[in-house]
Structure 1
Amino acid sequence: MNNQNMNNITACTNESHEIAINITRKAFVGLARQGMLFHQGVLEGCDDALAAVLEGEKARICVALAPDADKNYIHLAVADWGCGMDLAALTNALQLGSAPLTNSRLNEHGYGLNNALACLSGGTGDWCIYTRSQPGPYYKVSGPFDLKMTVTEENNLQLPEGLNLQWPDPSTVIYVRVPMAIARTLQRQGNRKLSDLATLRLWLIEHLGVAYRGYLELNPVTLEPSAKIAVTVGQSSMLVPPIQVPMMMARTEKLEVELGGQIVPVIYVHGTLDKSKRDHLVLGGKSRYYYQGTQPTQGIDIRLGKRVIATAQLGEIWHKEDGTPISRHNSYNDFVGELILPE
């Protein structure tokens, strides 16, 4: 157990512990102003869930949505069935800028988690984390952040009514009460009238299916995915499908590029947007955020191992002879592809 984390923990009773945090309320509100979008915050929670998967097991993640009594808010929970956190790991995860306790690229506790909690809650809203690293009580910590926070031990999850976690006995649950204005940012152009959670779920499934397609697609040997992600609205549950780049006339090139002073083999697949595939891409329906044949969506995806880390890359990769980035232009609208880097 990390000695620094032990120094940050004070036992209050058998059921509660006081922990020292290096984030003030004012700093936490400042994090919320960074402009993280709703789906980006959800992806942060899913990244941590994938980093926590137990060795030899497939990851299970549930993203649960439920209405709030106040129509200006929704309830969100991200649950996983991985290794969970003990008290020291939880304390570490809540420190701003702390290093993760695992070497997974997806684990960004200390920045990703805190940013997500700040942005999703609007900086001052309600959130809590339940976690355990073995069967028994959960450690629970509730926001907002302060220099001293209390972690209680709870035998049961106490979440708002309507949140369906799909599978029983999760190891970690991150809950946030999200302002509807923030939830609507998962659209490319925020529709102020969007309030239907079933529609919101379809947008979210598209984001999850693109980001995690490498985890969700079937392994060619086992014919099983390495992760399952369910998105629930009340008792209605949908599994996220892998969403591939819809392209035709695809060409595959194996290249070697220099990254960080090392020569790295990459796979570059590129082609022309297949609008027919695009129109049936998300659970049989049309994609609405990615691969639209427009200037903002032209370009290629960049995938690190199984995780898509960037989409619609054009000028970020290609430059003119004078070194300036290529400008987006309607002539590139049907240009799509994927650059796969080794993990």
Structure 2
Amino acid sequence: MISKIETQKIKIKNQPSTDGTFWRGLGGHFSNLTQIISEFVDNSISGFVESPIPVANITVSIVRIANGDVKIKIIDNASGIKDLDSAFEIGSIKTKSSSLNEHGFGMKHALASANPNNNDWVITTRTIEDAHLNQYKVISAPYKFDDFEATLYDGADLESKTGTKIEFTVNRQLFKTIVAGLPGNYQALSSIVKILKEDLGYIYSAFIKNNIASIVIEFNEEGQEQEFEKVTAVEPQVEATIDPGNSQENIDLGDGNVVLEYKFSKINENPTYKKHYIKTMSTSGVEIRINGRLLADNLFKEIWGIEKHNSYNYLLVQIDIKSEYSNRLPKTTTSKTGLRQDDEKLSVLYEWIKKKLPTPKQDSKLSDHEIDLFKQLKDTKKPHIADTDIITLEQRAYTNLNEKIRIDFYLNQNNEIKIYEGKKDKTTPKDVYQLMMYWDGLVYDGINPDVGILIAAEHPKSVESIVELVNNRLDDNKRNYNFIMKTWNQEGIPYPN
């Protein structure tokens, strides 16, 4: 063994870069402006833990100026920023007052994301002590590690006795991320604000309906009259409760019990909303909140390990994990835009959900296309299939001609080959000849099908007559075609119910 002889210590310079690289790297953790604004709203709500005022009054002010940039202010009447050192220190949680202040990065992350050039943000704050002394403090860009100062002013720069005002300007590209991915042409300021209103009502629904927070959006084009939108709680339109219902229980996710409030529901599309609870693949599944604040939604495959499709769009599982002890809660990402997937507490939660609802049922009425019904048919038959059997939606015909025509559904069970041609609602004569093409293609490839099944919700008399006609014919192997007609219900798929 070679011995190690220490000769000296070499100092490593690891002071953050002052050329703007660090600030730009600190930002970029949010995918849209709503998430940035929500970080500041989190801080406002947290500020009411120590405030004598019972309701958090939060105003989001939006002014679009002539060049398309947008001036934004978030103003609250909370207790103000008491410890400026801790508030602006990267990673400090010394002033943590609730689960909304978990990491000590949020405000800095949000400022850096909103203003990557670190040249256009201002924070004004006034504590109870400041109010007694008739003063307030202002901190403004640039953020820096040396000679970073707040300025003390006499008087008041807030409408409320105490609170905080955060101001910054974003470019038009960042502003439009509020409506990113939504169909339609969102040019009018009012239309974009309505989506922001819906987002905030979704994220903070528990705080709004329980009168913990009141959020108002003020907006106008520069030089025009100001308009207002009061944020209301965004909630699903529940058709029915599904087992295990709505309740709560104590559960130990790790490091001690938390209260788990849960609702398992079948929902209807809510025409009031453009983005949330609209019964689509992107707005259903499992929603997780911590102490009322939305942290994750649209979870499905992460929990059940199966691909999501339209037949699950009815399902909404709402979980709210409550505890004043942060070490008992699942860990969030530093920007609070999700939950840490490597956290063991989250795995325990997923297992708890699976025990309550082992396998979500599919609602065939929501299938957009017969391919969804065939996927359900595969799921229905798969438990009865032996390892040596074949069940697939990817079997091809005429492969020897390099055509590779895909058969809707192929089943080789106990050496009996069944092939399917399907329609969601009603078959036509053309579908009979499509099934005949599958059959002939397999025969050409050296595979002899035993049964051809035409499947749909119903079959017209004309189709029945053509099936009878075809079954009197011979294929290239001098065997009769053997076509039968079935409905989805006959195959165990409840469509239509």
Identify whether the pair has TM-score above 0.5, normalized to the shorter chain.
yes
> In structure 2, what is the Cα distance between the partners aligned to 1:157 and 1:194?
38
- Cα distance in 2, alignment partners of residues 216 and 200 from structure 1: 21
Counterparts of 1:109 and 1:139 in 2: how far apart (Å)?
24
* Aligned counterpart in structure 1 of residue 36 of structure 2, from 37, 41, 55: 41
CA distance in 2, matches of 1:246, 1:341: 22
1:22 Cα offset (Å): 6.7
Alignment CA distance shift 1:248-1:241 (3 Å): same
User: Which residue of structure 2 lines up, in the alignment, with residue 7 of structure 1?
Assistant: none
Alignment-mate amino acid for residue 138 of structure 1: Y
Q: How many angstroms apart in 1 are the aligned matches of 2:74 and 2:263?
A: 33
8 Å CA contact 2:300, 2:308 repeated in 1:
yes
Q: Does 1:252 align with 2:251?
A: no
What residue number does 1:50 align with?
45
Check the 8 A contact 1:31/1:118 in 2, yes or no.
Answer: yes
Residue identity opposite 2:294 in structure 1: V
**Following TM superposition, by how much is the alpha carbon of 1:261 offset from its aligned partner in structure 2, in angstroms?**
4.2
Partner of 1:179: 171
1:326 aligned residue? 306
Partner of 1:9: none
- How far the C-alpha of 1:206 sits from its partner, in A, is 0.8
**1:123 & 1:259 partners in 2: Cα distance?**
41
Structure 1 stretches lacking a partner, 5+ long: 1-20, 159-164, 219-224, 281-286, 320-324
Alignment of 1:131-150 (within 5 A): 131-133=125-127, 134-135=130-131, 136-148=134-146, 149-150=148-149
Return the alpha-carbon distance in structure 1 between the equivalents of residues 39 and 296 of structure 2: 14
The separation in 2 between residues aligned to 1:36 and 1:157, in whole angstroms, is: 35
| Contact 2:30/2:36, CA 8 A, preserved across alignment | no
* Secondary structure of the structure 2 residue equivalent to 1:202: helix
Report if aligned partners of 1:79, 1:170 keep a CA contact under 8 Å in 2.
no
1:122, 1:178 within 8 Å by CA — same for their partners in 2?
A: no
Looking at structure 2, the residues matched to 312 and 106 of structure 1 have their Cα atoms a distance apart, in angstroms, of: 21
Q: What 5-or-longer segments of structure 2 have no aligned partner?
A: 1-14, 221-225, 324-497
1:105 counterpart letter in structure 2: S
Equivalent position of 2:122 in the other structure? 128
Shift of 1:340: 2.0
Q: Quick one: percent identity of the two aligned structures?
A: 24
Is 1:189–2:184 an aligned residue pair? no
Equivalent residue, structure 2, for 1:10:
none
Shift of 1:188: 4.2
Name the CA distance, whole Å, in 2 between partners of 1:96 and 1:192: 40
8 Å Cα contact 2:271/2:278 also seen in 1: no
The answer to whether the Cα contact below 8 Å between 2:44 and 2:76 also exists between their aligned partners in 1 is: yes
Kindly indicate whether residue 115 of structure 2 is the aligned counterpart of residue 80 of structure 1. Answer: no
Task: Using the TM superposition, give the Cα deviation of residue 246 of structure 1 relative to its aligned residue in structure 2, in angstroms.
Answer: 2.4
Amino acid at match of 2:120: D
- Greater relative contact order: 1 or 2 (C-alpha under 8 angstroms, separation 6 or more)? 1
Residue 292 of structure 2 aligns with which residue?
Answer: 306
The whole-number CA distance in structure 2 between the counterparts of 1:194 and 1:107 is 33
Partner residue of 1:243? 234
Alignment correspondent of 1:104? 98
Matches of 1:106 and 1:151, distance apart in 2: 25
* Partners of 2:30 and 2:90 in 1: CA distance: 18
Q: CA deviation at 1:269?
A: 0.8
* Bigger radius of gyration among the two: 2
Change (3 A) 1:309 1:256: same
Q: Quote the Cα distance in structure 1 between the aligned partners of 2:282 and 2:248.
A: 27
Which of 189, 196, 212 matches 1:204? 196
The offset of 1:62, in angstroms, is: 0.8
Equivalent residue letter for 2:81: M
Task: Give the structure with the higher percent helix.
Answer: 2
Given that residues 131 and 172 in structure 1 are in contact (C-alpha distance below 8 angstroms), is that contact kept between their aligned partners in structure 2?
A: yes
TM-score normalized by structure 2? 0.54
Aligned partners of 1:257, 1:108: CA distance in 2, in Å? 21
Secondary structure, counterpart of 1:293 in structure 2 = coil
- Partner residue of 1:32? 27
Q: 1:93 aligns with which of 83, 87, 104?
A: 87
SS in 2 for 1:146: coil
| 1:26-81, Cα deviation, whole Å (9 max, x unpaired) | 2111122334421111110000000101146211111111112321x101111111
Distance in 2, Cα, partners of 1:255 & 1:132: 41
Aligned residues: 293
The answer to whether residue 59 in structure 2 is matched with residue 62 in structure 1 is: yes
Contact 1:59 1:82 in 2 (8 A): yes
1:216 matched residue in structure 2: 208
**Range that drifts further, 235-244 or 106-115:** 106-115
Q: Tell me how far apart the structure 2 counterparts of residues 205 and 23 of structure 1 sit (CA, whole Å).
A: 38
* One-letter amino acid of the counterpart of residue 61, structure 1: I
TM-score, normalisation: structure 1: 0.77
Tell me how far 1:191 sits from its aligned partner. Answer: 8.0
Could you tell me how far 1:168 is from its partner in structure 2? 4.5
Name the structure where strand makes up a greater proportion of residues. 1
Higher mean Cα deviation, 21-30 or 57-66?
Answer: 21-30
Q: Specify the SS of the correspondent of 2:301.
A: coil
Alignment equivalent of 2:218, drawn from 215, 225, 232:
232
